[in-house]
Amino acid sequence: MERNGEDDVADNRAHLTAPSDDDDDGGGGDFEASALSSNMFLDHVGEVVLSHNSDGLSWKLLESIHDEGSHCLGIKLDHKVPDKIKFSDMYAVELTGYGSIHRSNAGNICFGKEFHGYEMFRFKAHGFKKSKTQPCLWVPATYTFGHKDLSTCEMWVNQVNASLNREVGRPKNLLVFVHPLSGKGNGYRNWEMVAPIFARAQIKTRVIVTQRAGHAFDVITSITNNELKSYDGVVTVGGDGFFNEILNALLSSRYKAPYPPAPFDFAQSVGINGCSVVHNPNETVSVNSDQNEDDDPLLAIPQHNGLGSSNLRTYHQDADFPLPNEWFRFGIIPAGSTDAIVLCTTGARDPFTSALHIVLGKRLSLDIAQVVRWRATAASKVEPCVRYAASFAGYGFYGDVISDSEKYRWMGPKRYDYCGTKVFLKHRSYEAELAYLEVESENTNSVSDRGRLLNRVQALWGPNKSERLICRTNCMICNTKPVYTSTRATRPTPYSRPEETRWLKSKGCFLSIGAAIMSNRNERAPDGLVIDAHLSDGFLHLIMIKDCPRASYLWHLTELARKGGNPLNFEFVEHHKTPAFTFTSSGNQSVWNLDGELFQAHQLSAQVFRGLISLFASGPEV
């Protein structure tokens, strides 16, 4: 490009102030944050005074035409230009060499000549800005600064990098799994879209593109603790089911928790002597081929030689890789069919938003449910099999839809609408008995309080707060320690005094049974299954839909699909907040849906562990 007007640029004011000897704080010659300032050119804006502050960069326009606004045919044009970026919102700065910087020429904006350019040395600051219409949507933003002196640009890059290196919690080394066939087959394409963000942030990534079902599971279970600890976290590029596979791989190989508590009659029916049995990490693992599960590594069943007192274990962890672990985090870049976990933890189903949460080192605690299958069928022997879920466990309608949709994967996400319609028209109900652990604050169990169970919350925050306290960034409920303990599964330890707990039971024919660990917002349910379910409060939301006329069930589903709806406000809906429950099928069986993965079970028990894992996320803003 011609360097027209270069002499003007060379003569522009340019000064760089450094601290004097009196200002030296003994920090090895580092500049004070407020002491670095110089005249620069900001691309597509004009000449600015750029300042390095304690919390970020700020700049002020020097050209008065911008202060006064420009005009086109007598109409004043508003040029609102960002004037700062915080280091907490910046993930990289890089020197980009010699090239064009475009200076605003607002007087000619009406005639298609908005900018004219100069040649100079440049550096770029990479961060993000929030969408004006969707606050949870983060859009990558780049600010390009120019100066005629290369050493000035280099000094700025070094100083900004030093500030970014002081930001705590940001990952340096990540293990990335890419599911190439996830959703509409967007897994690899989505990773290629966001990979430059990780490269600019100087994050090392070991990328594994899975070649078969269970590939990621095998890698995680076989990797040594020393190698795993060399990573700051695991990132999955795929859907909820793919994340579930990797979550189970990590927990099944490194986290041995007690089985969930259970009422005495349930424990007797499955042959448990006590409710604190844990599976032996040294047990051999085989696959139950009778259930056609040989293609799913997550359904491997530990083989027990009876469940006598020798099988009673105390809580055990891998000392080299303890959990909960705030340092080691999971990241999810959405590429699935629903991506409910991403929507609940970032607020946006967007690969760039998720990638920015990861590189900026955001952290969010997440509840995890432990689900134990005791019998696969009514006739089977005791065969405890442990699975973990992060978002949802569903039976009946939810299980039938996911089971039927496996035959139509070629349809992509539309298969859920097609199979959902088929299952709805069949209107199958299933006989079952459930027992759930009573919560102290629960005085009633369904429609009279619409399942809100907020006595304790009102005691904390006052009666004037909204009935629906939605989980969001810096959620008060998730960040508050438990206010009651006798019936809370807040720690991974067995219930030592089961006589202090109270189990309530519900038996009948159910169209669906759901246990929501989070709200599970998605495109088909904008408010989720339970609008005020929280990410880290130690509760499951047990939702039981009793058999009812098809029209009534359609009304419920319609409310579920409507923003602002109230799908729990029906007489045939039971809703309970509980830390644990048990399930026994009494007739024809459906299948369980755990985070989008199939799980056959005639008898199971479940409990939630509060804040067991951490995600690279900050929660939705609304």
Cα 343 from Cα 240, distance rounded (Å): 11
Cα 242 from Cα 560, distance rounded (Å): 25
Q: Choose among 69, 148, 149, 142: nearest CA to 109.
A: 69
Output the CA–CA distances (angstroms, integers) from residue 383 to 196, 249, 303, 304, 493, in the order listed: 47, 19, 7, 7, 22
Q: Report whether 301 contacts 287 (CB < 8 A).
A: yes
Q: Choose among 334, 291, 525: nearest CA to 416.
A: 525
| Nearest-10 Cα torsion for 357, 362, 363, 368 | 0
- 240 is annotated as an active-site residue: yes
490: helix, coil or strand?
coil
Cα atoms in the 13 Å half-sphere on the side-chain side of 275:
24
Please name the residue ranges forming H helices in 564-607. Answer: none
Q: Cα–chain-centroid distance for residue 68?
A: 44
| Nearest-10 Cα torsion for 340, 344, 346, 352 | 10
Question: Whole-angstrom distance between the N-terminal and C-terminal Cα of the chain?
Answer: 47
Q: Report whether 178 contacts 210 (CB < 8 A).
A: yes
Q: Report whether 610 contacts 539 (CB < 8 A).
A: no
Q: What angle do CA 292, 389, 341 make, to 5 degrees?
A: 120
Instruction: Write out the E strands in 287-346.
Output: 301-302, 316-317, 329-334
- DSSP for 12-33? S--------GGG--SSTTPPPG
Q: Report whether 465 contacts 452 (CB < 8 A).
A: no
Cα 444 from Cα 458, distance rounded (Å): 16
Sort residue 412 into left (φ over 0), alpha (ψ -120 to 50) or beta.
left
User: Is the N-terminal amide bond of 324 cis, ω within 30° of 0?
Assistant: yes
Q: Report whether 123 contacts 152 (CB < 8 A).
A: no
3-state secondary structure 532-571: CCCCCCCCEEEEEEECCCHHHHHHHHHHHHCCCCCCCCCC
The residue annotated as part of the active site, out of 240, 527, 532, 537, is: 240
Residues designated catalytic? 240
